[in-house]
Amino acid sequence: MGTHGHARGLSGLGPATLNLKRPEPASRGRFITIEGGEGAGKTTQVRLLVAALERAGIPARATREPGGTSGGEAIRRILLEGDSEKWDMISEALLLLAARKEHVVRLIAPSLAEGIWVVSDRFADSTLAYQGYGRGLSLEDLAMLHRFALGSFAPDLSVILDVPAETGLTRAAARGNVGDRFERLDRAFHERLCQGFRKIAADDIARCALVDGSRDQPTVQRAILDVVEERLGVSL
Ligand code: Z5A
């Protein structure tokens, strides 16, 4: 693998379509991802979005990456603990993809097939941002890995919370827990992440919506609900 190739992103990948038996389109759930750097407010907004969907009578579940299944949570533990250089960066990408495959096959696709909407705290854009723009792996190689593991599977909508690196790190620090392997990376890494997420959103405007996450929580929440209403045709 080399350094950055063309910004391929997940462009060209269709909506969530695994090679699994598909239900009638009207009954299929929707897959929404919330993305962004450290302290962008993803976890907070995933919770608020699932609550809003349920209030509107739409069955919904929250999940996260890496994680969401027992195998994925085990991978999360070994990835996030310890020194920031503990893993070779390609090994790290492969572990994240293994967790994602488990997540899609065991939790996301079956939920969508049952008509449940799934809202995930991070997904494939985090790999492009952290392992690609942040660590320097080739974006083309990462897109190839995604196709190998998941074919054309992609979220119906990805909300990317745009928060300056400084603001996000301040929020994460104020939360008070000891930073994990990624939070301990240097400031320049977090700046690259921020720019990377903006580029990902600009490269795939059909799937992504960039939302200014630096505003107060209710304002950010309303902006996300507006995007979900507009893109996915529901009233929240
Ligand atoms: N990782 C990767 O490298 N590659 C991949 O493919 C994937 C992941 C999937 C785990 O992620 C790590 O895995 C992550 C990248 C890597 N690196 N790190 N670190 P994670 O999602 O578990 O960790 P995180 O990004 O650090 O999440 P976080 O710090 O928990 O941030 P958040 O979920 O975006 O924010 P939050 O918990 O909702 O809010 C943080 C604090 O800010 C909290 O006190 C809130 O009350 C407060 N907050 C939230 N919204 C606001 C607003 N609007 N205003 C003011 N304060 C706010």
pLDDT tens profile 166-189: 999 888 888 765 466 666 668 899
Q: Of ligand 1's atoms, which has the minimum distance to the CA of residue 220? A: 53
Q: Write down all domains in the chain, each with its CATH number in brackets.
A: 28-232 (3.40.50.300)
CB of 183 closer than 6 angstroms to any ligand 1 atom = yes
* Cα 181 to ligand 1 centroid, rounded to whole Å: 13
Is pLDDT at 6 greater than 70 in this prediction?
no
Place of tokens 């449940």: 116
CB of 171 closer than 6 angstroms to any ligand 1 atom = yes
What pLDDT does 174 receive? 82
Is pLDDT at 126 greater than 80 in this prediction?
yes
What pLDDT does 179 receive? 62
Taking CB atoms within 8 Å and a gap of at least 24, the contacts of 139-146 are 139/4, 139/5, 139/6, 139/7, 139/8, 139/9, 140/5, 140/6, 140/8, 141/1, 141/2, 141/5, 142/93, 143/8, 143/9, 143/10, 145/93, 145/94, 145/97, 146/10, 146/13, 146/97
CA-to-CA dists, residue 37 to 118, 183, 234, angstroms: 21, 10, 27
* Cα 129 to ligand 1 centroid, rounded to whole Å: 14
CB of 34 closer than 6 angstroms to any ligand 1 atom = no
CB of 66 closer than 6 angstroms to any ligand 1 atom = yes
